[in-house]
Structure 1
Amino acid sequence: MGVVERYLIALAVIFTLPWLVWRLGRTDRWAPLVVVQILAGIVLGPGLLGRWLPEQHAFVLTPEVMQALNGVAWWGVMLFVMIAGIELDLRQAWRHRRESGITAGLALGVPLLLGSAAALALVAAPGWMGAATQPWQFVLGVGMSCAVTALPILLLLMDKLALTRHPLGQRILRYASLDDLAIWAVLALILMDWERVGRQAGFLLAFGLVTAGFRQLMARVGQTDRWYLLPVWLAACSFGADWAGLHFMVGAFLAGAVLDAEWFDQARMDLLRGHVLLVLMPVFFLSTGLRTNWDTGGWEVVAAAALLLAVSVAGKLAGVHLAGRLLGWRPGEAGVIGWLLQTKALIMIIFANVLLDRAIITNATFTALLLMAVGSTMLSIPVVEPRLARLLGRAPAQDSALEGPAKASRSA
């Protein structure tokens, strides 16, 4: 059988298996389709399917097939990260800067500290820290993984809860936007190559100059031309960042973060995000699952994931509750906000993929972080729904809005 046939078999499995589990298992309330796709990637990886059916696994997922799938996965995740950058709404955060700064800072800082403490425990044991890294990079990377909030997935979950247009939902999005910005800033710091700092500084300087010109161009051209220029700009920024040693994901985020969301029709942007999630990201989830590794020991990886999940949840809730006390929130708000900010899938997985690419973490640490991200995201909706119903005095949402892209506008 040729490479093309095996490639098509792999695609059929990638898109069929998660959908069947999601639809027939009716998992939407506790595991939306995107989470099922991530879990399917883990199952199809070498640690599970590769051990259960090694011959079939090797027959379909040959190096040539994986090379083709990785190309699709790279482009899909670059588009997704760029859209996340475009959707950052820092102006709203600036208008409410005291409240947003205190809440976002504590919601990020407390789990970062606890996650870093857990990472120090992992540093002491072999097999967790990458060979080509410094301890501070590993500790900061794992700590930030525990603090991440996935803004795009948060939008989808809030749409399911009919919360996106609500004032409380707008507040949560402000906090998540600031944390999202901090995540990528910390990633850039971790990836800073002090031997090539001149090249990286040159990239950032050139990026700033080119961005000024590109923004003027985007402001002058029509809506149709902006959509055509978007992938060109994405490819150029990602290439520049990767050439400088900052990783192409950092470039993809910067490509979106410097653009104004108002330049693009919101409905079309929502549609683009939905299509990327539908037809490209499942391939990324498979490639992510193929990077999982249980060689350190299955129970050791699960124990590490449980530790990271515990400090992540405890840190996020503690930080948000502290912010609520300082700002005088009404009872129940901190619990809803803290649990919604637990959503980590996708952005944390992308973050961890970059750390693995740069040999900052090992495959075992990556697997533990992946399990932590999935567990944290799966906890959000079941815990939040009854709390939100009590807080707002309404019945829990019964719709299944996660079947499509979030439709609500993020404007205040």
Structure 2
Amino acid sequence: ASWRGSQASPWQFIAGIGMACAVTALPILILFMEKLHILRLPLGQRVLRYASLDDIAIWTVLALILLDFERMGRQLTFLAGFTLVTVLMRRAFRRLPEADRWYLALVWVAGCGLAADWSGLHFMVGAFLSGVVMDGRWFNRERMDLLRHHLLLVVMPVFFLSTGLRTQWTLGGWSVLAAAALLLLASVAGKLIGVRLAGRVLGWRAGEASVIGWLLQTKALIMIIFVNILLDRAIISSATFTALLLMAVASTMLSIPMVTPRLRALDKAKSR
């Protein structure tokens, strides 16, 4: 099977695969931590902070991967315009009542997405940047949760259907399965080793690094978005797309079974 996309240079392909292995899906992570009853605990809040930093790094590198030197003028124009308009938008958000901020937020997200797509970056990069510069405290938390629920209920099935239609399960045969297994090994080992090293440097308690490392294995939703962008921009081939999806599903499925006993052991050690 051909793994690299038709428009990708070697460094873009390698960086794209590396970032795909590093993805953590915040929405799925939050659901998992709610199920484990640790979301509001100090450990859960730490995991959220680490996952948020992970997301920022991933989308920043993705923006670099998608830079098109032939359209550099457009992309620099977008970044300069985004910086300028962000200052004005933040002032407007602060002055508006909470009810009116929702309408402005929708226009802001759509505008950033369209502008990013025009510049040669993907619309998801623009949407992500638009969210980064907004403050969560500007919006009612209950309404935000309700909006997220309705979006997941209505939009996500269509998105998953679209992704499923693009997945070619017969392409590449066993080589795709082997690639998925190799990617899974790299993803799991990379995060566990990295988190364990961070734990030693920061002086975490015994067992915390393992729990955090396995929680950060959740990929599903964000990974699907990420690899769709790579496929849209021909950074990866259809065979690589399928292998990455298989890796994302397997990685996410491993998270809860691996975390649960380690979390129990951590609680027992804490109670002694």
Query: Are positions 1:212 and 2:87 aligned together?
Result: yes
Mapped partners of 1:134, 1:294: distance in 2: 25
Mapped partners of 1:295, 1:141: distance in 2: 23
Deviations 1:196-215 (A, max 9, x none): 11110011000111111111
1:335 is matched with 210
2:124 is matched with 249
Q: Which amino acid aligns with 2:267?
A: L
Query: Are positions 1:322 and 2:193 aligned together?
Result: no
Question: Can you give the 5+ residue segments of structure 1 that lack an aligned partner in the other structure?
Answer: 1-125, 395-412
Q: Which amino acid aligns with 1:273?
A: R
1:368 is matched with 243
Deviations 1:289-326 (A, max 9, x none): 11111354221111110000011001111111111122
* Secondary structure of 1:290 counterpart: helix
1:200 is matched with 75
**Residue pair 1:127, 1:296 contacting (<8 A) in 2 also:** no
Q: How many residues align?
A: 269
Query: Are positions 1:346 and 2:213 aligned together?
Result: no
Query: Are positions 1:393 and 2:260 aligned together?
Result: no
Mapped partners of 2:8, 2:199: distance in 1: 38
- Structure 2 counterparts to residues 81-230 of structure 1, below 5 A: 126-230=1-105
1:309 is matched with 184
1:358 is matched with 233
Mapped partners of 2:265, 2:141: distance in 1: 32
Mapped partners of 2:49, 2:34: distance in 1: 16
1:401 is matched with none
2:174 is matched with 299
- Structure 2 counterparts to residues 40-55 of structure 1, below 5 A: none
Task: Tell me by how many angstroms 1:240 deviates.
Answer: 0.3
- Between the two proteins, what is the percent identity of the paired residues? 69
Q: Which amino acid aligns with 1:290?
A: L
Q: Which amino acid aligns with 1:151?
A: L
Mapped partners of 1:391, 1:271: distance in 2: 33
Mapped partners of 2:228, 2:24: distance in 1: 16
Q: Which amino acid aligns with 1:280?
A: V
Which one of 102, 113, 119 corresponds to residue 238 of structure 1? 113
Provide the aligned C-alpha RMSD in A: 1.2
**Residue pair 1:172, 1:337 contacting (<8 A) in 2 also:** yes
**Displaced runs of 4+ in structure 1, greater than 3 A?**
none
TM-score by length of 2: 0.96
Which one of 153, 163, 175 corresponds to residue 278 of structure 1? 153
Mapped partners of 2:103, 2:268: distance in 1: 46
